[in-house]
A = this chain, B = another copy of it.
Amino acid sequence: MKSSNLNTPIKALIFDVFGTLVDWRTSVASHANTLLSAQHSIDWLAFADAWRDQYQPSMQKVRSGEIPFCSLDTLHLINLNRVNKDFSLKGIDENTKQELNLAWHRLNAWSDTLEGLTRLRERFVIAPCSNGNISLMIDLARHNRFHWDAILGSEIAGNYKPNPIVYRASVKALGLGPNEVMMVAAHTSDLKAAAEQGLKTAFIARPLEHGPKGSKNHPQAETQALTSVDYSATDLLDLTKQLNC
């Protein structure tokens, strides 16, 4: 699926991370289960889903200007307090909350991610363009052995995707033109916003992002982009093939 002008060579790939490269759902559920199951017995996948459901509304407060920019670690912790309340998880001390919040620093990659990124890096500069803060991205990279060229995204822009400034700041940091950079993501909203700033786009299908049967608020994963994209791939290895890496 190719729609926009591909004559200008792509020099860098920037990646959405949560859902596109790493499986946040089972990783967060597993981490929460390990930390809390001695005291609490709940559906930890539903807990992970509920925590993630607070993600967009909390960032919207920054995007709208209601609150100043703060790191995703900070938003995750605020959201955790709310989710703990909703699941009636009481008596969790501050240290445990901080430890639980670090679940987002230790998410496991999808099985194709490491090999895909490694092969793509042989031909392209690669960087995350994530809403996660820099220290979170550092920890995720170390946990999964990603070798990024730089860490771009929300923290260098002082705002959250899909605000246009995040894509523009990432392109500027790379010293490239927008059409020399391709945004790679499993979510239409991210790709649509990147394309509006002139970036090329690649959709990666992640049918298991919300679990094999979908979750309460996400009964179906996006199996294809709902916008025109330059590439559409079943996973990162498929993308490497399409890009002749």
Q: What residues of chain A have their CB less than 8 Å away from a CB belonging to chain B?
A: 71, 73, 125, 133-138, 141-142, 147-152, 155-156, 173-176
Q: Give the residues in chain B near A137, CB-CB below 8 Å.
A: 150
**Can you list 21 A-B contacts (CB < 8 A)?**
A71-B175, A73-B175, A125-B138, A133-B173, A134-B150, A134-B173, A134-B175, A135-B173, A135-B175, A135-B176, A137-B150, A138-B150, A141-B149, A142-B149, A148-B150, A150-B150, A150-B151, A151-B151, A155-B156, A155-B173, A156-B156
Decide if A135 touches B73 in the complex (CB within 8 Å).
no
By Cβ-Cβ distance, the 10 closest A-B pairs, closest first, are A135-B175, A134-B173, A150-B151, A138-B149, A134-B150, A138-B150, A156-B156, A135-B174, A125-B138, A147-B147
Additional A-B contacts beyond A73-B175, A151-B151 (6; CB < 8 A): A71-B175, A125-B138, A134-B152, A134-B173, A150-B151, A155-B156
Write out the residue numbers on chain B whose beta carbons fall within 8 Å of the beta carbon of A150: 134, 137-138, 148, 150-151
Which residues of the other chain, B, contact A135 by a CB distance below 8 angstroms? 173-176
Q: Hey, which chain B residues are within 8 Å of A173, CB to CB?
A: 133-135, 155
A141's nearest neighbour on chain B, judged by CB, is B149
Chain B residues with CB under 8 Å of A125's CB are 138, 142
What is the minimal beta-carbon distance from A97 to any residue of chain B, in angstroms?
16
Q: Which residue of B lies closest to A126 (CB)?
A: B138
